[in-house]
Structure 1
Amino acid sequence: MAAPLLLGIDLGGTKIEAVALDGSAGGEEAIVLRRRVPTPRDGGYEAILAGVAELSREVAAEVGVDLRTAPLGVGMPGGITRAGLVKNSNTTCLNGRPFRTDLEALLGRSIAFDNDANCFTLAEARLGAASAHAGGVVFGVIMGTGVGGGIAVRGEVWPGAQGIAGEWGHHAVFPDRGPLCYCGGRGCLELFASGTAVEADYAERAGERRKLAEIAERRGSDPHADAAIARLLEAFGRGLANVIDILDPSAVVLGGGLSNLDFLYSEGRDRVASLVFNDELVTPILPNRLGDSAGVIGAALLALAR
């Protein structure tokens, strides 16, 4: 019997993406159908809720599956409180609202649900860069506007007792430096190793703003770029060494905009190796394989795990 198609929705700040996924295939070849529509942020909570529901119906109809029974998973930034309310979403109109409950009511069915970092990790562990390590522990990293992460154990998301497993962006790497983080802490990794942080650090040093890619290109010819990247590498090394000391994962996969910086896999790895509590670093630090498809593929795979 053929494997059932899995449906996945990735709700982002600017786009809602949906896929129909062949769970028996591998990598991007598993995608049977993919659709993207803009997130109707200006319409507020109700418009976003309706947009996700409508896209789910359209994709299910196009691939010929019954939306009431087809495996369906949804991923989005942020998490869900014990009371079932969204927290920490960058689409702020969702915070404090029972998005999962309301979507289930609108579609008349239950839904697998998780945050975008966990979806990324699940996809890269099952079908992506860390598939050779799926039987162990995979730590997935998101380094972009912010810093997040997820943990997959034997090919399943490990949420943790409080639903915060993998949130390495909010452990302190420089507790005596930097401004207060929005989380209330000081010295959080996100304040030093996100694209936003690197660009802000460069602007403070140079008196002008540049994009991350340009800052990276100016290494060796611009002392301000040298200093900003040096701080990034130090934070990355400290932060990831801490994670490896505690978790000792089978593999680490990098995602987000900073994952495109080649030096993280050479100089960054060397910095991690110099700080990890061992005389060698055997954990592979891998670039993602699924790109911006990882989140929505992971959402679909959530449904397979139910």
Structure 2
Amino acid sequence: MTLRIGIDLGGTKIAAVALDRTGAVVASRRVPTPQDYGEILDALAGVVRGIEAELDARASVGIGTPGAGCPDTGIMRYAENTGLEGRPFLADICGRLERTVKVANDANCFALSEATDGAGAGAEVVLGVILGTGVGAGLVVHGRALAGVNGLAGEWGHSPLPWPGEGELDIAPCYCGRTGCTEMFLAGPAIAADHLRVTGRAASSAEVVKLARGGEPGARATLDRFLDRLARSLAPVVSLLDPGVIVFGGGVSKTAEIYAELPARMAPWIAFEAPRTRMLPSVHGDASGVRGAAWLWSPADWERGLPAAWRGSPAFAGT
């Protein structure tokens, strides 16, 4: 059996699946994420070896992580919510598992999953947008997740909000130290903060949407501001990349108004007439990250043969 193991390494949990050649899940594991770096490596190795023992087969391994590894040094960056920050994670996990492992940003894994056999299947260019407690994006072109020369392709959440209106530059600064970052307008907590700031009433992003659908004027205004900001933030991306599909994931992506209203709201900000980009919810939902990590190993890798791939030098997905 040809197997791919995909692992989603998060701040609180490690989730893993094994996919067969058709993409069917044939095994899975879920364990808490340790805080100690060495224990994280041990936990990852234990998950891989447990799945391989269960299936009596050796598998390729792909891992999705927060942040990214520096292409020059391999040191992890922007992974502060895990024990990976500042560590040579790729080299260490390859050594621990005694094989080549592919590592990519978790947003890239999300995008790759949906481009492979999800909402973006068949599209030449797929942008995967995550709207949750944070904001991020991954880019897939011709079936390959793009990492970029700095390992940061798709870091859209820390781009400034385009065409800011009155008062939009006066919000609290982003945790990155800058002001005006897209994440500070579009993440779930940001929607709740915007609602509280304008109306004086506390409500989660999900509660805002529910109240808006019930006809509450203040909540509907908050939802309108969110949709307008989302349209403005994505319009330059569409003009630049011209993706066939934008796939949305994360808790905020469950807002149906995104798919019903966003295309029309985006049109005035697009450089060309009637953009044909489709905007769709993810097919695999919360499983997209772990499935995308498994798909970091392309069909071409399998055609060349896994033993040869294991003997290769460690490489980031997209290289």
Normalising by structure 1, we get a TM-score of 0.90
Q: 1:52 corresponds to which residue?
A: 44
For 1:73, give the aligned amino acid: G
Match of 2:60 in 1: 71
Q: Distance in 2 between matches of 1:35 and 1:93?
A: 20
Unaligned ranges ≥5, structure 2: 302-319
Q: Which residue of 1 aligns with 2:7?
A: 9
Residue matched to 2:260: 266
* SS, match of residue 33 in structure 1: strand
Residues 186-225 of structure 1, C-alpha deviation per residue, up to 9 Å, x if partnerless?
Answer: 2111110111110111222344432211110111543332
Measure the CA separation in 2 of the matches of 1:217 and 1:90: 33
For the Cα contact (< 8 Å) 2:8–2:289, is it kept in 1?
yes
Out of 144, 152, 155, the residue aligned to residue 143 of structure 2 is: 155
Partner of residue 275, structure 2: 281
State the alpha-carbon separation in 2 of the partners of residues 54 and 276 from structure 1: 49
8 A contact 1:18–1:35 mirrored in 2: yes
How far apart are the structure 2 equivalents of 1:129 and 1:50? Answer: 34
Q: Bigger CA drift: 212-221 or 280-289?
A: 212-221
Instruction: Name the stretch that deviates more: 119-128 or 46-55.
Output: 46-55
Deviation at 1:284, TM superposition (A): 0.4
Tell me if 1:83 matches 2:66.
no
Correspondences of 1:210-289 after superposition (within 5 Å): 210-219=203-212, 221-289=215-283
Q: What is the SS of the residue equivalent to 1:266?
A: helix
Q: CA-to-partner distance for each residue in 1:242-289, whole Å, 9 max, x for gaps?
A: 100111111111111111000001122221122211221211001100
Greater Cα offset, 93-102 or 186-195: 93-102
Query: What do residues 115-167 of structure 1 show as CA deviations (whole Å, max 9, x unaligned)?
Result: 1000011010011111131xx11111111111110111110111222222111
Structure 2 residue 106 is matched with structure 1 residue 116:
yes
Q: Distance in 2 between matches of 1:234 and 1:57?
A: 47
Q: What is the distance in 1 between the residues matched to 2:280 and 2:195?
A: 27
Question: In 1, distance between residues paired with 2:80 and 2:7?
Answer: 17
Structure 1 alignment gaps of length 5 or more:
none
User: Do the aligned partners of 2:108 and 2:145 also contact (CA within 8 Å) in 1?
Assistant: yes
Structure 1 distance, partners of 2:26, 2:3, is 8
- Counterpart contact for 1:245–1:277, Cα < 8 Å: yes
Q: Secondary structure at the match of 2:296?
A: helix
Distance of 1:100 and 1:186 partners within structure 2: 32
- Offset, 1:33: 1.2
Aligned length: 293
Could you tell me how far apart the structure 2 residues matched to 1:94 and 1:204 are?
Answer: 35
Equivalent position SS for 1:7: strand
Secondary structure of 2:11's match? coil
Provide the rounded CA distance (Å) in 2 between the counterparts of 1:8 and 1:251.
Answer: 24
Distance in 2, Cα, partners of 1:298 & 1:121: 7
- Residue 182 of structure 1 is matched in structure 2 by 175
Letter paired with 1:199: A
CA contact (8 A) 1:192 1:231 kept: no
Aligned counterparts of 2:28 and 2:83: Cα–Cα separation in 1: 26
Aligned with residue 186 of structure 2, among 189, 193, 217: 193
